[in-house]
Structure formats: structure tokens, C-alpha cells
């Protein structure tokens, strides 16, 4: 029996790319959400958190519409490169970002909320400009929250099923991630293969969470 591990590699790459992009996007978004004291902030927060509440199929359905040839993003991509985002790896990354955004933004927003402004004030009086303060004060103070956001975003993306099925379409080698491969094995009654892959998923997610909590305990 030959077991194809490429879905595992694909899942890992997808989770890594998504998490990296989410950190880049999530840091300014969380900062904006915490600093903004108007009602708009709550509307945006609710919208950011929405993927946690929706069934993944609902989310996946709308994302498919948006990224497909008739959706706004998909149409744009089609005009640009001749193909929409539906059933592509890029589409998967975009959908995963929406899906995992709340898990990255939430710990970061909590971190910014807790941030003691006196640290930044002290740094500025000591001669640190805005960018310098970001690098030397804000990011070190948010290290634990960044780690939490990154790990949660990673394993959440790693474990998704509904959204990748809707948007990715389970194309082998391109959009067939681990969760889809496991589902296919079960459908074909290949329980042994499904078991092996599931065990890997459990082991990896558990290890990631364990390391996260160990790292948090040390602080």
C-alpha cells in the first residue's frame, strides 16, 4: 500500500503561508480595533469574528462566489491572469485567511488592550521614534500574544475542512489538503490510510498546542 503524503505537505504550506500573511494583516488591524473608540470598531470586530460563528460551508459558499469567475475578486483575477481564484492554491490561501482571521486578531487585540502606554511614553522620552518604539517596545511586549495568534491561526488553518472543500474543490496535488485526503480515504473505505493521516494530524496539533502552553507558562 502506497500512501500519498503530498496532502500533508500541502496542508503545512497552506497553514504557514496563511499564518504569515495573517500576522502581517492582523497586527495593524488589531491595533486599529483597540485604538478606535467609536461604534465602527464594534461593527468591524463583529465582522472579523463572524467566521467563528458561521458553518464553514456557508463561509465557503460565499467565498467561492466571491473568488469565482463571477465574484468581484475572481473577476478581477480573471481579467488579470485569465483564471479566477476558485479551485486554486491562491484561492485557498485567501479563503483560509478569512477563516482563521479571528483566531489571530483576538489574542493580538487583547495584547494591545493590555499594553501599558507608559512603556511607550518612556521609550519616546528616551529618544525612540515611532518605528523604533514598535520594534523595541511594542513587539517584545506582544511576543506571547503574537505566538498565541500564530499557533492558533496555524492549527486552525491546518484543520479546516468545509471551506477548503468549497473553495478548493479537492484537486489532487493542488488543493487536496490533509483533511480532504482523509475524507476521501474514508469514502473509499481505506480506513487504515485515514487512520494514519488522522493520527499525524492529532499528533501535530497536540504538540503545537502543548508547546504554546508551555511557552506561555514560562513567562
Partner 1 sequence: MLEFQARLRHGAFALDVQGELPARGRSVIFGPSGAGKSTLLRLIAGLERGAQARIAYGDELWQDDARRLFVPPHRRCVGLVFQHPVFLPGCRVEQVLRYGWRRRGRSVRAFDFGSIIERFGLGPLLIRNVHTLSGGECQRVALVRALLAAPRLLLLDEPFSGVDEEARAVLLQELDDLQADLGLPMLYVTHAARETVSFADHLLLLEAGQVRALGAMHALATDVSLPLARRPDAAVAITTEFVRHDPQDGVSCLSFADGELWVSESRPRETGRPRRVLVNARDVSLAREAPHGTSILNVLPAFVVELAELPDAAVVVSLRIGATPLLARVSRRSARELELQPGSRVYAQIKGVALLNH
Other Cβ atoms within 10 Å of 209 Cβ, number: 13
Segment interacting with partner 1 (CB under 8 A) among 40-48, 57-65, 126-134, 155-163:
126-134
Segment interacting with partner 1 (CB under 8 A) among 4-12, 57-65, 123-131, 203-211:
123-131
Three cell numbers, residue 181: 485526503
Segment interacting with partner 1 (CB under 8 A) among 61-69, 120-128, 159-167, 208-216:
120-128
- Cα separation, 186 vs 195, in Å, equals 9
116 is a site residue for partner 1 (CB under 8 A):
yes
* Minimum CB–partner distance for residue 141 and partner 1 (Å): 7
Instruction: Name which position in 6, 13, 20, 119 contacts partner 1 (CB under 8 A).
Output: 119
Instruction: Name which position in 6, 58, 115, 124 contacts partner 1 (CB under 8 A).
Output: 124
- Cα separation, 208 vs 152, in Å, equals 9
Three cell numbers, residue 97: 485567511
Alpha carbons within 13 A on the beta-carbon side of 97: 14
Q: Which of positions 127-156 make contact with partner 1 (CB under 8 A)?
A: 127-129, 132, 136-137, 140-141
* Minimum CB–partner distance for residue 125 and partner 1 (Å): 4
Say if residues 216 and 144 touch (Cβ distance below 8 Å): yes
35 contacts: CB under 8 Å, gap ≥ 6: 112
3-state percent breakdown (helix, strand, coil) of the chain, nearest 5: 80, 0, 20
Instruction: Name which position in 39, 125, 189, 214 contacts partner 1 (CB under 8 A).
Output: 125
Binding map of partner 1 across residues 64-103, x = CB under 8 A, - = no contact: ----------------------------------------
Say if residues 101 and 30 touch (Cβ distance below 8 Å): no
- Cα separation, 31 vs 144, in Å, equals 16
Total binding residues toward partner 1, as defined by CB under 8 A: 17
Segment interacting with partner 1 (CB under 8 A) among 56-64, 114-122, 170-178, 188-196:
114-122
Segment interacting with partner 1 (CB under 8 A) among 8-16, 76-84, 99-107, 111-119:
111-119
- Cα separation, 196 vs 3, in Å, equals 9
37 contacts: CB under 8 Å, gap ≥ 6: none
126 is a site residue for partner 1 (CB under 8 A):
yes
Give me the residues that bind partner 1 (CB under 8 A), please. Answer: 116, 118-119, 121-129, 132, 136-137, 140-141
Amino acid at each position: 500500500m502506497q500512501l500519498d503524503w503530498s496532502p500533508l505537505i500541502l496542508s503545512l504550506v497552506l497553514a504557514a503561508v496563511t499564518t504569515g500573511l495573517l500576522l502581517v494583516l492582523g497586527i495593524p488591524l488589531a491595533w486599529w480595533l483597540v485604538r478606535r473608540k467609536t461604534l465602527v470598531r464594534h461593527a468591524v470586530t463583529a465582522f472579523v469574528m463572524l467566521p467563528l460563528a458561521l458553518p464553514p460551508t456557508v463561509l465557503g459558499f460565499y467565498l467561492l462566489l466571491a473568488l469565482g469567475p463571477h465574484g468581484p475578486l475572481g473577476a478581477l483575477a480573471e481579467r488579470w491572469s485569465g483564471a479566477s481564484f476558485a479551485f486554486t492554491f491562491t484561492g485557498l490561501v485567501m479563503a483560509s485567511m478569512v477563516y482563521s482571521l479571528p483566531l489571530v486578531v483576538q489574542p493580538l487585540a487583547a495584547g494591545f488592550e493590555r499594553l501599558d502606554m507608559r512603556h511607550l511614553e518612556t521609550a519616546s522620552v528616551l529618544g525612540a521614534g515611532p518605528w523604533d518604539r514598535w520594534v523595541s517596545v511594542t513587539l517584545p511586549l506582544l511576543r506571547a500574544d503574537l505566538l498565541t495568534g500564530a499557533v492558533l491561526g496555524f492549527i486552525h488553518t491546518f484543520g479546516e475542512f468545509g471551506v477548503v472543500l468549497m473553495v478548493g474543490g479537492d484537486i489532487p496535488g493542488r488543493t487536496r489538503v490533509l483533511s480532504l485526503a482523509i475524507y476521501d480515504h474514508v469514502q473509499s473505505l481505506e480506513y487504515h490510510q485515514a487512520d494514519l493521516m488522522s493520527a499525524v494530524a492529532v499528533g501535530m496539533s497536540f504538540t503545537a498546542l502543548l508547546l504554546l502552553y508551555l511557552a506561555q507558562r514560562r513567562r
